[in-house]
Amino acid sequence: MPDAAALADLLRSHPGTLVLTGAGMSTDSGIPDYRGRDGTRRVTPMQHGEFVGSSEARQRYWARSFIGWQRFTHAEPNDAHRAVADLQQRGALGAVITQNVDGLHQAAGSRDVTELHGTLAEVVCLTCGDRSDRDLLQARMAEANTGFERLSAGEAFDGSRVGSQIRPDGDIVLADDLVRGFHLPRCTVCGADTLKPDVVFFGGSVPRDRVDACYALTDAAPALLVLGSSLAVMSGLRFVRHAARRGIPVMAVTRGPTRGDHLMTLRVDDSLASTLGAVLRAQVAA
């Protein structure tokens, strides 16, 4: 794999390379991307304005997320996640900025992970600011929606009413009639129905302090490696642009084109697992 060899050489000469990962990292773990290889969005994600705008939108999200969570939490790190963790331990890679909300980098053993878009493992009340654990909320929703759990196993309803694919934000497609029967969870502190997963939905803003921290990581990095991201949204692309302005090498391994291709020192259009595996073997052999 000549591209993998070139990547291994660049990483060898730039130890501690900063990593930026996108949804493509987790597709081999059974969590599909929102976009196809051509960059076209395949499904419509929940929008921030829609979620905060009505109880009906929040009911739809939480009904879908209640079912999706059962499957989402069974996802495990794949070979690409493990390779990143191994390359970190060997000093080839440094901190990780991830656009994913699934926690799989940490589960694989990566350290110094900044979750740019937040995490599905926590829930925040938009009214009073109270924070709670997603698993605890799942238990409360199960108690308030007796029988709804059967949907997670597909036991009660056919595939025209329950989708088979989870989405990167942990929800799943449900028929409208099922959603209407779901009891929306409320905050245990203030009673409002404004509970939200602690993630940045499409159209929302990443907290400024988190953005600044990622810029600081980019400023300190000897190089930047993008993994599994089309850089279609500015939240990740801005760090690629910042790295390019600094004049440090910018590398990418991802399927299909990215919005930052013109800024790349090296661009590998191949499997993450096989490419990173080859890089890891080169590191071990060096």
User: Which residues are annotated as catalytic?
Assistant: 117
Mark out the alpha helices in 14-97 (DSSP H runs): 48-53, 55-72, 79-89
Q: Give ∠ CA 39-42-45 in degrees, rounded to 5.
A: 105
Would you tell me how many other CB atoms lie within 10 Å of the CB of residue 25? 32
* Residues facing 202 on adjacent strands: 47
Give the C-alpha distances (Å, rounded to integers) separating 178 from 44, 156, 168, 183, 253. 19, 11, 21, 11, 40
> Checking DSSP bridges between strand 131-133 and strand 118-125, what pairing results, if any?
antiparallel
Q: In degrees to the nearest 10, what's the CA dihedral of 13, 231, 259, 47? A: -170
Contact in structure between 151 and 175 (CB atoms under 8 Å)? no
- Sheet with 195-199, edge to edge strand ranges: 131-133, 118-125, 195-199
* CA atoms of 237 and 260, how far apart (whole Å): 7
Contact in structure between 120 and 101 (CB atoms under 8 Å)? yes
